[in-house]
Amino acid sequence: AQSVTQLDSQVPVFEEAPVELRCNYSSSVSVYLFWYVQYPNQGLQLLLKYLSGSTLVKGINGFEAEFNKSQTSFHLRKPSVHISDTAEYFCAVSETSSASKIIFGSGTRLSIRP
């Protein structure tokens, strides 16, 4: 069975500073990887996904993530954050053979300071 670990429950960052949200996964088979964002009192929205091919994937709102198979990581990055990026970010994984079941990490709250 697969699992996802987001080590940082909260990440405070100053506006216009870079940010990295860490995600590690565990699985005995090949996986798809995702980052979702949840703004306050809203549902989840897909930021980006890795299915295959290039290990660097770009998403919406200037975010990108890099798949590192040897380190089983899929860290999310943004070079310069804005106040509007304040939200909860979820890393998620699903097995390629059974993509129906998306397993989410515990989330990282990104708070932007002016």
Partner 1 sequence: DTAVSQTPKYLVTQMGNDKSIKCEQNLGHDTMYWYKQDSKKFLKIMFSYNNKELIINETVPNRFSPKSPDKAHLNLHINSLELGDSAVYFCASTQTAGNTEAFFGQGTRLTVV
Other CB atoms within a 10 A radius of the CB of residue 61 amount to: 14
Query: Which lies closer to partner 1 via its Cβ, residue 40 or residue 114?
Result: 40
Within 8-47, the residues that bind partner 1 by CB under 8 A are 32, 34, 38, 41-46
Residues listed for the chain = 114
Choose one: 18-26, 63-71, 74-82, 95-103; the region binding partner 1 (CB under 8 A): 95-103
CA neighbours closer than 13 Å in the CB half-sphere of residue 105: 30
Least distance from C-beta 55 to partner 1, angstroms? Answer: 17
Tokens of 110: 């990104």
Longest CA span, the chain: 44
88 contributes a contact to partner 1 by CB under 8 A:
yes
Tokens of 114: 């002016």
Least distance from C-beta 16 to partner 1, angstroms? Answer: 26
Distances (CA, A) of 82 to 18, 19, 23, 27: 10, 11, 21, 34
Query: Which lies closer to partner 1 via its Cβ, residue 43 or residue 53?
Result: 43
Which residue of 78, 94, 110, 112 would you call a contact of partner 1, by CB under 8 A? 94
Indicate the DSSP class of residue 85: G
For binding to partner 1 (CB under 8 A), which residues are involved? 32, 34, 38, 41-46, 49, 51, 88, 90, 94, 98-104, 106-107, 109
